[in-house]
Structure 1
Amino acid sequence: MKSRSPVPMGAPMRVDLLNCADEPIHIPGSIQPHGALIFFTAAGEVEGWTENAPAALAAHLELAKPFGELGLPAEVTELIQESLDSMSEGEAMPMVAAITVGDTEYDCVVHAHEGRVIAEFEAREVAADTVAQFAIKAHSSIDRLRRQKNVDALLDTAVRQVREFTGFDRVMAYRFRPDDSGDVVAEARRDDLVPYLGQRYPAGDIPPQARRLYVLNTLRMIADVTYHAVPLVGAPGAAPLDMSFALLRSVSPIHVEYLQNMGVGASMSVSIVINGRLWGLLACHHMGPKRVPYSIRMAADVLAQVIASTIQGLESREEAELVERAAKVRTSLVESLLLEEDPLEALIEHADGMLVAARAQAMIATQFDRVVCRGIDQGSGEAIVATLPDNVHELLVRQCSADWPEEAREGLGKWSGMLGLPYDPPSKGWCLLLRHEQIEEVAWGGKPDKSGQIGPMGERLTPRGSFDAWHETVRGCAHEWEDGVLIHARMTLGELARVSNARRAQTEATRAQLLAMLGHDLRDPLHSINMAGIVLEKTDSASKGGTLGRRIQSSSNRMQRMIGQVLDMSRIDRGMGLGVALERVDLAALVEDMVEEARLAYPTIVYELKIDGPAVVMADSGRLGQVLSNLLSNARHHGEPNQPIEILLRRDDGRAEVCIANAGAPIPHEIESGLFNPFKRSSLNNPRNRTGMGLGLYIAQQIVREHQGEIAYRHQAGAGGQGTSAVIFTVQLPLAAQD
């Protein structure tokens, strides 16, 4: 077996921007030339090496030869043995020793990965005492970083300190966005270099597999971008060597070309990893070749860990403050909801606190088609409510205009971001938190696109060649909803839903008791009272007893109607419907009967009836009469005194249309939005309709819907701005098919 000859390991694939995302950069099959590498099996036998290793290390390397027989310095054999002894599940942490081979000083770093021991020998140009001085500087830098009170100051200090003890021409701090693009948020540079501070670099500059390696191996150095890679040789048939944690690993030719296009001669990157995520990056550039000793790089790596820890602490404190503030708002809101009769009033009362906790600029609360707004005009609020889907029970998140229904985008105005909390889906209860569009002027680090041209590897797609700031105005998106805000919103939604369910359960229990009382305990005595009123009226019609009898009948009939409305509402709310029995009905005759009945009951009111012709519909005459009676009653109660009530029946495009109009001002906008809701505040305790509960239009709408028809309100101004304006309710029903 020892007589076998090693063979090249891993031929580099042809790479351009079309396939760079698939490039296996962790198994390049080569290293950078300022060092050498040997790797061993888990049994400690040689499995392969770099072509330059025998000469650089003055070692006679053979496949399957035990590491102890290679004649390597004692410090190296000790590290290999320790790595083998400490290997767990094929892994062992890196260990380092300074050695000298001939006239060359090396930093020897040994680690284990996937069951192999990898020994790297990186040539060092700087003397050990100089390295020690750098280490002292790095230690003082760490102390300075820990004293910073915010992220911006922390990163600004970091780039200056790293440049000071490493000597790079430029050190930049990137902060990555959720879309993986990165902003240069801090920079220390040589005075003659073009600044990159404030520029953004697209996510494609760091492909996914490179991003993964930045998390696994937090420090990476390219000593000379013009290097010629040294290939690996190894046992025939051996698996490619995974160099994810190697120091000398060769880099992608695409990345090398990218750096060359920037005019960079050497680079070092130090990852800032928080909770397993690549939060940011310290990118160091030198305009010519540059080697930074291993121990100094490790100091920079420790610095990055201190940065990550400090950032995590700062963000945690900020998040804790947000959580505390949000919890107070949530607790206060829930208390109000439990006490306040109207949920919308409670939500608007706490709007300011909710907006601060969510970092939003406007809030909309809606239920039963009623809409109330804070920080946004009523018309825009209603337009946004119209975009909400039905039967949603989870948080609805919209970030950009593209997240909204296409037909609604033009009418959004400045609003792009929305958190929708569907706290009571059965009643279409929503609480909406809005963020306005964040118009952003982005200075890209070069135009973020691909270009086809002749590059060092032939004709192909290559990285962009210009890194001058390329400005773009980004529109249509709000500032992204933070994780803490989303968590708070979900918790608030849960609390709102629990309160709504509790209120609904309480209402259902109360309603069940009320309906039982209405249906049994009150109807029978009311019937008896009504009969007594009839008897009293007939027995003494000429005296005060007759008047009293009529009053008793009127009051008991009114109570009977109220009871009937409540029972109807209960059937509607339970999804039972009103049980209409459809038959052919002469709508003209029904309208005439209802108007005549109103004339007899209220002889002082003028009813102007106009019927354009016969109209036969499929209807339940009793229920349809209930609708007409309600609309006539509304016109009587809310119309201007001494003005006629107009009733028009006509046919239009296969439908029959009944219009009932009374003179009056338009219904206020805030009332109009909830006109067909039950128990409207505008109806309760209305001096012109003291016994109204706001159920009439609610029930009328359901009756019309069960007839496959429509009921609607509109206001008509007087001709030319003069004369009497009219409030008009219209009922449309499909005409019955002819026999």
Structure 2
Amino acid sequence: MNFDKKNLFQADISNCEREPIHIPGRIQAHGFLLAVSPDTYTIIQASENVREHLGIPADQLIGKRLNSLQAGTRFLGDLLTDLLNLGLRNQSLEAMNPYRINLQEQEWNLVSHQHDNAVILEFEPAMIHTSGQHLQRLLAQSLSTIKASWSMDQLLDNAARQVKKITGYDRVMIYRFWPDWHGEVVAEVKEDNLEPFLGLHYPASDIPRQARELYKTNRVRCISNVYQPDSALYPVLYADRKRPLDLTHSLLRAVSPVHIEYLKNMGVQASMSISLMYQGELWGLISCHNYTPRQIDYSARVSVDLVGQLLSAALEYHKDEDDQSFTQQIKEAGQTLFSHMLKDWNIVRGLTQYETTALDINSATGAALFFEGKLHTLGQTPSDNEIHGLIGWLQTTNTDTVIQTTHLANQYPPAATFSAVASGLLAIPLSREMNEYLLWFKPEQIHSVSWAGNPEKAVNIHENGSIKISPRTSFARWVQEVRQTSAPWKDAEIATALKLREDILHVVAKKANEIRLLHEKLRKAYEELDAFSYTVSHDLRSPLSTIKSYSEIILEEYGEEFNDDARTLFTKVIRATDRMNILIRNIMDYSRMGQNDLQVQSVDMRKLLSRLREETLVTEKSRALTINILNTPPVVGDPIMVLQVFSNLLSNAAKYSRQAQSAVIEVNGFRNEYEIVYSVKDNGVGIDMKQSGRVFDLFKRLENTGQTEGNGVGLSIVKQIMNRHKGKVWFDSQPSRQTTFYVAFPHMPVAQKNQ
């Protein structure tokens, strides 16, 4: 019945943030626990102190049916069985909490819940400090007082006072988390003889990550006596899980030894915490301390939980109300900037040269715009060289939307030299490719933080070399001067910056992107394309037709006079002109691909592929070839171009599988959330993936295709068509084994036309 506390609880440098506090394998010993199978009502785990309260050793309960339990109340097992039947049948175990039971002339609260494939029954002594009617009056008074609070400070102060009235703890604090998860006492009500904690800060390590996650799930957490030994659960490992029972929702769950030591160092013997939530995240805690052991009845805990929920709702209201005016102001400034930029399509003038500038959409004291190779500044900023260095660093980051920090020197050390004007940075990339950014700066805000003792935990090295982190032993006020840090960026400031970024990109897209990046390339490309098309159609096709015609005439009229070599040469000339005609036609198709509008409609792929299969089999009738067509979901696209795509893919698959003894081509399609994907697989010569970058290049053929007819245009056409459809084409291959080409057509309305 013993288990290794050392392995389960030792808190050292490597596991402090990973201590499994939800499966401690123990409970607080002022109550006891039974875990029951929800199917058979068999007892599968029990706290070892059950013997003190039921007179039965824990190991003798394991494996027995709940209805066999007799203790205090003769028919306790039947009563519990009936309660579980009712609760599980109605799926409302928690609705019966607490159920009052008398055991050995003592009143107990039975609190039950289902978790980790077990029904967990927890028995806790009923501790009535106030009558039910008085408790209801206190709760009603608390709710009215909190609702009537007109400011955030008054709201927090009133909530702390009402919780102290309900619970009677020596000290009640409102503890708020900062963005880095360290905490600050922002409201406090205490006994007169206690020193104040109001305004003190506590490091994030005092309430580690896994504890904060549990506070989001289990809103009220009580510790009745830090000096009372815990009671272990038997057996140590739960059922076949090879770990202790999950006590995430348990009200008796034992406390981390590190936290127990922490409370003892503070002189606290009992505590309670109530979670405060804001928009689904942990905002803070109502933290209650008592300097003697204290247990709070379940009904009182339910009351303070309601107070915590009401306070959480009030926090959202007050915080949103406080932010609303500022948010509305910067939103209006952002809209004004957008109007300025639209007036003359000038980004720089719109952001920097009117009465409302980029400095008006947040609380920054300086701003810099680097756009089209020039730097423009507003307010108090670092020097031009320092800003250029900062932009160079921004280029190395991975963020594409917004970068914000209140401690720039921590991420970009050279910023320490200009922290007086730019300890805080908010930056939005406008174009990473063109190195264009808009930046805002906040100055250094030197301030003092009063910590409850030195926030660094003590590190002790034992004789065996193990390293153990111990909770702080001193909580005396410890003042730290904070430098190179700015005031925080508000969520509304970040959101408005993101909106401004979209506005700028909208203006740029309308005025500049197509013009400054594509105009010159398009002009040259169309001039070359027109010249190329003219050359192909007139200078090449006409003489080629003449060569073929004269060759056919000569072969027909004088062929009988030629020897075999001469006839073979003329035949080769005629075949070469045919191949050249095909190549010219493919080139013309490729050159026109970017000019013709898409005639988009739903394409019946079963019909299209069946037609192509028949044509391919006729062309390849002299060899063993099988073409299997599997799933054929329809695609939306230009029917002629879709036909070209699959015609090229099927002809390539047939062509490059001619060396296979039994060639097989498989075509299959499937639909996912975003697109229709088709694959065309063959068992031919394959492609060396080292040459994969050349596959879709015009006129490029791979090394292992030299003996197979082709001109290196077909796959380029496929690539062009898929680009026109905003789709994709890719492949994978194993040389001498298989090649699979994939094409993906995006979902789009049938009526959509090419823009």
Q: TM-score range by the shorter chain?
A: 0.5 to 0.7
Distance 1:450 1:63 in 2: 42
Evaluate the alpha carbon distance shift between residue 203 and residue 501 of structure 1 in structure 2; reply closer, same or farther with a 3 A threshold.
same
Is the 8 Å Cα contact of residues 275 and 308 (structure 2) preserved in structure 1?
Answer: yes
> Which of 201-210 and 346-355 deviates more?
346-355
CA deviations 1:418-455 (Å, max 9, x no partner) are 22233356765433221111222011111012224699
Matches within 5 A, 1:604-683: none
User: 1:169: Cα distance to partner?
Assistant: 0.6
Alignment match, 2:112:
110
Distance 1:503 1:454 in 2: 66
User: 1:31: Cα distance to partner?
Assistant: 1.4
Is the 8 Å Cα contact of residues 36 and 121 (structure 1) preserved in structure 2?
Answer: yes
User: 1:10: Cα distance to partner?
Assistant: 7.1
Alignment match, 1:383:
386
Alignment match, 1:224:
225
Matches within 5 A, 1:479-490: 479-490=487-498
Q: Does 1:69 align with 2:68?
A: yes
Alignment match, 1:580:
none
> Which of 230-239 and 303-312 deviates more?
230-239
> Which of 442-451 and 149-158 deviates more?
149-158
| SS at 2:61 equivalent | coil
Distance 1:433 1:87 in 2: 55
Q: Which amino acid aligns with 2:210?
A: Q
Q: Which amino acid aligns with 2:226?
A: V
User: 1:228: Cα distance to partner?
Assistant: 1.0
Q: Which amino acid aligns with 1:273?
A: M
Distance 2:148 2:318 in 1: 12
User: 1:305: Cα distance to partner?
Assistant: 0.8
Q: Does 1:477 align with 2:485?
A: yes
Which one of 290, 293, 309 corresponds to residue 305 of structure 1? 309
Alignment match, 2:300:
296
| SS at 1:479 equivalent | coil
Alignment match, 2:362:
358
Q: Which amino acid aligns with 2:343?
A: L
Evaluate the alpha carbon distance shift between residue 427 and residue 11 of structure 1 in structure 2; reply closer, same or farther with a 3 A threshold.
closer
User: 1:350: Cα distance to partner?
Assistant: 5.5
Q: CA RMSD in A?
A: 3.3
Distance 1:440 1:139 in 2: 41
User: 1:505: Cα distance to partner?
Assistant: 4.9
Distance 2:236 2:19 in 1: 23
User: 1:501: Cα distance to partner?
Assistant: 2.0
Which one of 275, 278, 288 corresponds to residue 271 of structure 1? 275
Identity %: 30
Q: Which amino acid aligns with 1:38?
A: L
Distance 2:431 2:55 in 1: 78
CA deviations 1:302-350 (Å, max 9, x no partner) are 1111111111222334455455333322222112112136432221245
Alignment match, 1:451:
458
Matches within 5 A, 1:70-219: 70=69, 71-72=75-76, 76-86=80-90, 95-126=97-128, 130-219=131-220
Distance 1:78 1:219 in 2: 28
Q: Which amino acid aligns with 1:327?
A: K
Which one of 491, 497, 509 corresponds to residue 501 of structure 1? 509
Which one of 22, 28, 42 corresponds to residue 32 of structure 1? 28
Q: Does 1:16 align with 2:11?
A: yes
| SS at 1:441 equivalent | strand
Alignment match, 2:579:
none
Distance 1:22 1:425 in 2: 39
| SS at 1:118 equivalent | strand
User: 1:29: Cα distance to partner?
Assistant: 1.7
User: 1:470: Cα distance to partner?
Assistant: 0.6
Is the 8 Å Cα contact of residues 94 and 111 (structure 1) preserved in structure 2?
Answer: no
Matches within 5 A, 1:689-704: none
Q: Does 1:430 align with 2:441?
A: no
Evaluate the alpha carbon distance shift between residue 120 and residue 464 of structure 1 in structure 2; reply closer, same or farther with a 3 A threshold.
same
Q: Does 1:343 align with 2:351?
A: no
Is the 8 Å Cα contact of residues 384 and 412 (structure 1) preserved in structure 2?
Answer: no
Distance 1:408 1:165 in 2: 51
Distance 2:459 2:179 in 1: 29
Alignment match, 2:37:
41
Which one of 286, 290, 315 corresponds to residue 286 of structure 1? 290
Alignment match, 1:51:
48
Distance 2:444 2:363 in 1: 13
Evaluate the alpha carbon distance shift between residue 234 and residue 80 of structure 1 in structure 2; reply closer, same or farther with a 3 A threshold.
farther
Is the 8 Å Cα contact of residues 265 and 474 (structure 2) preserved in structure 1?
Answer: yes
Q: Which amino acid aligns with 2:406?
A: Q
Distance 2:288 2:517 in 1: 70
Q: Which amino acid aligns with 2:258?
A: I
Matches within 5 A, 1:558-577: none
Distance 1:272 1:115 in 2: 29
Evaluate the alpha carbon distance shift between residue 510 and residue 251 of structure 1 in structure 2; reply closer, same or farther with a 3 A threshold.
closer
> Which of 290-299 and 340-349 deviates more?
340-349
Alignment match, 2:660:
none
Q: Which amino acid aligns with 2:474?
A: S
User: 1:225: Cα distance to partner?
Assistant: 0.8
Is the 8 Å Cα contact of residues 35 and 45 (structure 2) preserved in structure 1?
Answer: yes
Evaluate the alpha carbon distance shift between residue 453 and residue 507 of structure 1 in structure 2; reply closer, same or farther with a 3 A threshold.
closer
Distance 2:389 2:61 in 1: 76
Distance 1:351 1:67 in 2: 78
> Which of 118-127 and 365-374 deviates more?
365-374
Evaluate the alpha carbon distance shift between residue 76 and residue 228 of structure 1 in structure 2; reply closer, same or farther with a 3 A threshold.
same
Evaluate the alpha carbon distance shift between residue 361 and residue 220 of structure 1 in structure 2; reply closer, same or farther with a 3 A threshold.
same
Evaluate the alpha carbon distance shift between residue 340 and residue 386 of structure 1 in structure 2; reply closer, same or farther with a 3 A threshold.
farther
Q: Which amino acid aligns with 1:476?
A: Q
User: 1:193: Cα distance to partner?
Assistant: 0.8
| SS at 1:387 equivalent | helix
Distance 1:426 1:237 in 2: 57
CA deviations 1:376-399 (Å, max 9, x no partner) are 26x735632442137685333343
| SS at 2:76 equivalent | coil
Is the 8 Å Cα contact of residues 326 and 354 (structure 1) preserved in structure 2?
Answer: no
Distance 1:459 1:432 in 2: 45
Distance 1:319 1:136 in 2: 34
Evaluate the alpha carbon distance shift between residue 80 and residue 511 of structure 1 in structure 2; reply closer, same or farther with a 3 A threshold.
closer
CA deviations 1:352-397 (Å, max 9, x no partner) are 56434322222223434544333226x7356324421376853333
Is the 8 Å Cα contact of residues 170 and 289 (structure 2) preserved in structure 1?
Answer: yes
Alignment match, 2:545:
none
TM-score (norm 1): 0.63
Structure 2 gaps of 5+ residues are 70-74, 528-755
| SS at 1:184 equivalent | strand
TM-score (norm 2): 0.61
Alignment match, 1:637:
none
Is the 8 Å Cα contact of residues 337 and 358 (structure 2) preserved in structure 1?
Answer: no
Alignment match, 1:251:
255
User: 1:269: Cα distance to partner?
Assistant: 0.8
| SS at 1:413 equivalent | helix
Is the 8 Å Cα contact of residues 426 and 440 (structure 2) preserved in structure 1?
Answer: yes
Q: Does 1:442 align with 2:449?
A: yes
Distance 2:105 2:357 in 1: 71
CA deviations 1:224-255 (Å, max 9, x no partner) are 11011112224987242111111111111111
Evaluate the alpha carbon distance shift between residue 267 and residue 153 of structure 1 in structure 2; reply closer, same or farther with a 3 A threshold.
same
Q: Which amino acid aligns with 2:265?
A: N
Evaluate the alpha carbon distance shift between residue 255 and residue 396 of structure 1 in structure 2; reply closer, same or farther with a 3 A threshold.
closer
Distance 1:466 1:445 in 2: 8
Q: Which amino acid aligns with 1:25?
A: I
Q: Which amino acid aligns with 2:162?
A: Q
Q: Which amino acid aligns with 2:144?
A: D
